Chains A and B, each alone.
Chain A
Amino acid sequence: MNHIALKMLMGDRGKYLGIIMGLTFASLIMTQQPAIFVGLMMRTFSFISDLGLPDIWVMDPKVQFVDDIKPLQDTKLYRVRGVAGVEWAMPLYKGLLKARLDDGTFQTCNVIGLDDATLIGGPPVMLEGKLEDLRRSDGVIVDIDGATDKLAKPPQTPGGSPVPLKIGDTLELNDNRAIVVGIAKTTKTFQSQPVIYTTYSRAVRYAPRERKMLSFVLVKAKPGQDIPALVRRIRETTGLAAYTQQEFKDLTMNYFLKNTGIPINFGISVTLGFVVGAAIAGQTFYNFTLENLRQFGVLKAMGTSNWTLLRMILLQAVLVGSVGYGLGVGLTALFGYSMRNTILAFKFPWQLLAFSGAGVTLICIFAALISIRKVIKLEPAIVFKG
């Protein structure tokens, strides 16, 4: 009877497409919106991810997320280095500084100062130049997005495209000259500001003078060390906050989840997509069943059991659910692919497939249940009514 169920479903093209469209829409919204949400959330800690080397991040206990800089005294670095189990501890400066561009405008940049000797904490991928070039006088490395967009030089001809920064170009950071010695690729951050890497000593020179300049201490544990135990030891010994890389990511993401309207906004979109999709698919599927009630009645009169009819309806629901889900997820993937080189945040982990799959399954179960109820209660004697 399965082929009969499928032919009944696909025989009415209009209704069939209506159900598919409803489910596709629901699946698309339930996948695409969370994918943007996940992308945004992952950007909140992308800087931490890019700095893969350290095991532990040490900072002021009041720090709430990665961009919430509460500087430490430089001496704290030595206290951390003195904790048992620490292989090395390096300073890291992170701060927002204004760069003066060729056209006289200012652009806020995320300036990262790396340990002068080791350059630990550098960009993950160098596109042009080498990390060691930072040791050259006034050297800075600029991320490619900043170089081609916000830090780009004005067009050479009216109406032309901005000219990307290249090696050898100069910038002015807080009245200090900086020379571009490399172009790097970094993961986009939540605030989407250009990222400029330089040495720690140069970064603190660029920055307005303050008593405390050290943003973070990056720590590598000695081989075989129990990382959580070392984290506890650093906290106890120095009185500072210490987090493993994952803990710091979680701290940062939780801050954005709790203190911004992002989850609510996306939650509303996803809920709306689910409700609208459920309404469209549920009602169209129900209408489809209502219009085929006589046909179900004929099958019932001829001896088809409720169980068989139930299986037929479930099969129809599974088919439209699978097609709608596949199309929705496919469209989401296509959307993500077409936006890969834009500023849009988009991350499509497998968990989202499961999430939207569960959503579409719920919609199909709902649509099938209201239809099944009608068919189960159907009196086969309906077939003799004119």
Chain B
Amino acid sequence: MNGQSTAAVRCQNVVKTYDTGGDKVVALGGINLEIHMGELMMLVGPSGCGKTTLISVIAGILDQDSGSCEVFGADLLHLRSGEKLKFRAQNIGFVFQAYNLLPSLNAVENVSIPLLINGVKRQAAERQAAQVLEQVGLGARGKSLPSQLSGGQQQRVAIARALVHDPRLIVCDEPTSALDHETGHNVMELLKQVALHRDRALVIVTHDSRIFGFADRIARMDDGHIEKVVDSAEDL
């Protein structure tokens, strides 16, 4: 942990169930979790244990059934739709397993999207996007389409996109699972180096035990519950 104790995310007794054709499946069965500013928290656990559901709730793109989840003091469940959109647009950055870059936009245009959503004019947004691409080592590939980039480069573009609007929380879903070991390691180095600082928190959902070492804390989930929260992979 980077020595910061202010809570970025505070989940209390968060419950989420899915209705699968009459059967209720409990995805989150009363989650309690705090993620601090300046912290890189990893959520680990077997498939179907509720990791993705939890980051969806934390990111404000899925409503829990009960309990509260405060992100920087705002209870997203009780925000109106427009306020929640604005909150997400300003405060949250996303990095996805499959990168989810828009295939017909070049790197600069992809990175500029969060700025455009926040109302920045196109020219200024693309200028700023080019600067962030420079930061992630892709300054020369700004005009490249996603299909012209390697997996590692695409993930760097995705990281640039997550950072460009200077959000306070970055949620990453399996950011290294589509990458080979070395590229995955480099991506994590980059994330830690450029994304993590005292005013920002990172939540990473992963299966990839090779990157556990980058975490400040690791929350192990199973069957919709957090089994334990540890400071290092050895304690899992």
Contact = CB atoms under 8 A, between A and B. Distances in A.
A15 to B, nearest CB: 11
A305 B96 contact: no
Contacts of A8: 102, 104-105
Contacts of B89: 302-304
Given A4-B109, A381-B62, A384-B52, A303 B104 contact: no
B173 A384 contact: yes
A304 B113 CA distance: 10
B98 A386 contact: yes
B123 to A, nearest CB: 11
Interface in B93-138: 94, 96-98, 100, 102-105, 109, 113-114, 116-118, 122
A305 B85 contact: yes
A112 B117 CA distance: 74
A304 B104 CA distance: 18
Contact of B113 (A11, A302, A386): A302
A302 B114 contact: yes
A8 B104 CA distance: 6
Interface stretch (B30-38, B53-61, B221-229): B53-61
A10 B102 contact: no
A303 B167 CA distance: 12
A4 B61 contact: no
A340 interface: no
Which label, helix, strand, loop or mixed, suits the secondary structure of the A interface?
helix
Contacts of B102: 4, 7-8, 11, 295, 298
A299 interface: yes
Given A3-B122, A379-B62, A384-B56, A301 B94 contact: yes
Contacts of B109: 3-4, 7
A22 interface: no
Interface string A15-53: 000000000000000000000000000000000000000
Nearest to B98: A386
A299 B117 contact: yes
A10 B104 contact: yes
A94 to B, nearest CB: 66
B105 to A, nearest CB: 6
Contacts of B94: 298, 301-302, 383
A8 to B, nearest CB: 6
B21 interface: no
B86 interface: yes
Nearest to B93: A302
A382 to B, nearest CB: 9
A298 B157 CA distance: 14
A125 B98 CA distance: 74
B96 A304 contact: no
Contacts of B98: 386
A37 B166 CA distance: 63
B103 A11 contact: yes
Interface string A330-373: 00000000000000000000000000000000000000000000
A302 B59 CA distance: 10
A299 B109 CA distance: 13
Contacts of A295: 100, 102-103
A303 B56 contact: no
Contacts of B90: 303
Interface residues of A, number: 26
A291 to B, nearest CB: 10
Contact of A381 (B61, B86, B88, B116): B61
Interface in A293-327: 294-295, 298-305, 308
Contacts of A383: 61, 94, 96, 100
Contacts of A380: 61-62
Given A4-B102, A8-B102, A303 B85 contact: yes
B82 interface: yes
Contact of B117 (A3, A303, A379): A303
A117 interface: no
A12 interface: yes
Contacts of A1: 116-117
Contacts of A302: 88-89, 94, 113-114, 117
Contacts of A386: 97-98, 174
B116 A4 contact: yes
Contacts of A12: 104
B179 to A, nearest CB: 14
Contacts of B97: 384, 386
Interface string A281-298: 000000000000011001
B132 to A, nearest CB: 15
Nearest to A9: B104
A19 B197 CA distance: 48
Contacts of B122: 3
Contacts of A3: 109, 122
A182 B15 CA distance: 97
A301 B87 CA distance: 11
Contact of B59 (A7, A301, A379, A385): A301
Given A7-B105, A301-B88, A303-B88, A384 B116 contact: no
Given A4-B102, A8-B102, A381-B56, A305 B113 contact: no
Interface of A: 1, 3-4, 7-8, 10-12, 294-295, 298-305, 308, 379-381, 383-386
Q: What are the 10 closest A-B residue pairs judged by CB atoms, nearest first?
A: A11-B104, A303-B89, A380-B61, A303-B88, A381-B56, A381-B62, A7-B104, A298-B100, A384-B52, A303-B85
Given A384-B97, A386-B174, 6 more contacts: A295-B102, A298-B94, A302-B88, A302-B89, A303-B90, A303-B92
